[in-house]
Amino acid sequence: MPSTVTESLIFRDMFGTPAMRAVFADEALVRRYLDVEVALAEAEAATMIIPAEAAAAIAEAARTMRIDFDRLRHETEITGYPILPIVHQLSEAAGTAGGYVHWGATTQDIMDTATVLQVRAALDLVSVDLVELRDILAQLALRHRDTPMAGRTHLQQALPITFGYKVAVWLSMIQRHIERLDQMRPRVLLGQFAGAAGTLASLGADGLKVQAALCALLGLARPSATWHVARDGLAEAVSFLGPVTGSLAKIATDVMLMMATEFGEVAEPFVKGRGASSTMPQKRNPISSELMLAAAKAVRQHVALMLDGMVQDLERATGPWHAEWIAIPESFILTAGALAQAKFMLGGLIVDAERMRDNLALSGGLIVAEAVMMAAAPKLGRQRAHDVVYDACRSAVTEKRHLADILIEVPEIVEALGGADAIRHHCDPANYLGLAPQMVDHMLAQLPGRPGAR
């Protein structure tokens, strides 16, 4: 029975997705090992290192053989690595051509290249999810471009914003992650074939030709130098997932706070029973947001593990390499799960614009004290306007009255603003949104396929 949340029959689709689990499943991993061994044989046949018939026989054996996983597990426990056991089974299946399997390679060549093939498939899935999430956020930002709400700093109401502006901030992070993913692919998707100590000594003068042919067959870039102990590429891939899930956790935190009863400004999509309490029938907990936050915390630990794993000894490492076997699959699965939760939650997010406006009114106009101050400053001077409005704010708090009512009783402000109606205008939060709507427009214009896009 599975014992981790990413494989659990109960939890696995809360913390991952079937598509991403399939990328890192044992069967898929073994298939990647075989793909690399076959590509190696074909590359060596193309460079006349081994007979073409042998390469064809190895490819056919890899296609038709049935892996004995019990034997593979047992031999891997003895050897410490799965490649020699795989080579045993592939060589037996290939018959007389079996002697050419794994020619000139070392275990890490096969494992590293297979890992990169997995990472490529995983990044493709992440890329699709990020683009879909970007589109969801773009629609949400546009829909609520002009929906006023309280902007909060230090958990206190600060100035009015629009909900579309808040979403545009979320959207900007996702768009940058899409750009980062595309930029890092050439650095991460490198083949590995260098032999025992990384010098390709076993193949003599033909080693680099085989390396180039192998990478070409697998659609991977050829490395500038052996990366057996230069783990920055894979570390970058997992480190990339840290900011992705970190951004999702920021979004989740905002949603959880805004779902609090005292705020009530948004709610996760309604599904009967979702987020329910076993004892409190009224509860509707932010389940997707909670799962996104949990995944981000776990991925963050794996980022640290990958960075620590970069400290490798000499030309072939000891334990640091093994740590990648833990961190890479789990990080991608958890990220896929968090992205799936984000798409579900934000795609059906319930926005209560009326409650947002009600919350804007909670301070009795204090949230737009800056608006009054800046409007009065041309007549009174900034500092005098600040002092007068500051005193009025204190009176409004003490007397529990609306700021506009206090200011109307201050002749200096009435004269500076031009009357009571002007004071009430400046004390309406909806009239002090700054450039929030225009910032939404600017963010949306950056997206591909939109007017003004880069």
Q: Which residues pair with 266 in a beta bridge?
A: 351
Tokens of 22: 């399939």
Tokens standing for residue 230: 């230069």
Confidence of residue 280 (pLDDT cuts 50, 70, 90): very low
**Quick one: 192 exposed, middle or buried, by C-beta within 10 A (0-12, 13-18, 19+)?**
buried
Q: Are 30 and 73 in contact (CB under 8 A)?
A: no
**Could you give the CA distance from residue 310 to residue 304 in angstroms, rounded to a whole number?**
10
- The more confident residue out of 273 and 281 is 273
Sequence-ordered alpha helix ranges (H) in 348-368: 353-360
pLDDT at 274: 56
pLDDT band at 283 (very low <50, low <70, confident <90, very high): low
Phi, psi (5° rounding) for residue 120? Answer: -60, -45
Note the pLDDT of residue 273: 57
Average pLDDT over the chain reads: 89
Residue 183 neighbours by CB under 8 Å, 6+ apart: none
| Angle formed at CA 108 by CA 197 and CA 306, multiple of 5 degrees | 105
3 as an active site residue: the answer is: no
What angle separates helix 319-347 from helix 232-259, to the nearest 10 degrees? 30
Helices (H), 16-51: 18-24, 26-46
* Tokens linked to 305: 């593990």
Residues 6+ apart with CB under 8 A from 387: none
Residue 184 is inside which H or E element, if any? Answer: helix 163-188
Phi-psi region of 198 (alpha: psi -120 to 50; beta: other; left: phi over 0): left
pLDDT for res 318: 77
Residue with tokens 């309406």: 428
* C-alpha 430: how far from chain center: 34
Q: Give yes or no for a contact between 132 and 346, defined as CB atoms under 8 angstroms apart.
A: no
- The C-alpha atoms of residue 356 and residue 342 are separated, in whole angstroms, by 22
Is the pLDDT reported for residue 453 higher than 60?
no
- Kindly state the percentage of the chain with pLDDT values over 90: 56
160 and 150 Cβ atoms separated by less than 8 Å: yes
Percent of residues, the chain, with pLDDT higher than 70: 96
Distance CA 90, CA 161 (A): 63
Catalytic residue among 154, 172, 322, 363: 154
Position 421 scores a pLDDT of 85
Active-site option among 277, 278, 322, 402: 277
CA neighbor of 49 nearest in space, from 103, 107, 97: 103
> Rounded distance, CA 416 to CA 61, Å?
89
pLDDT for 454 equals 46
DSSP letter at 310? T
The pTM score is: 0.89
50-86 pLDDT per residue, tens: 999 999 999 999 999 999 999 999 999 888 888 899 9
> What digits encode the pLDDT tens for the residues 187-236?
999 999 988 888 888 888 888 999 999 999 999 999 989 888 889 899 99
Q: 155-159, 231-235, 236-240, 327-331 — which is least confidently predicted?
A: 155-159
Indicate if 277 belongs to the active site: yes
Q: Which of 82-91, 280-289, 383-392 has the lowest mean pLDDT?
A: 280-289
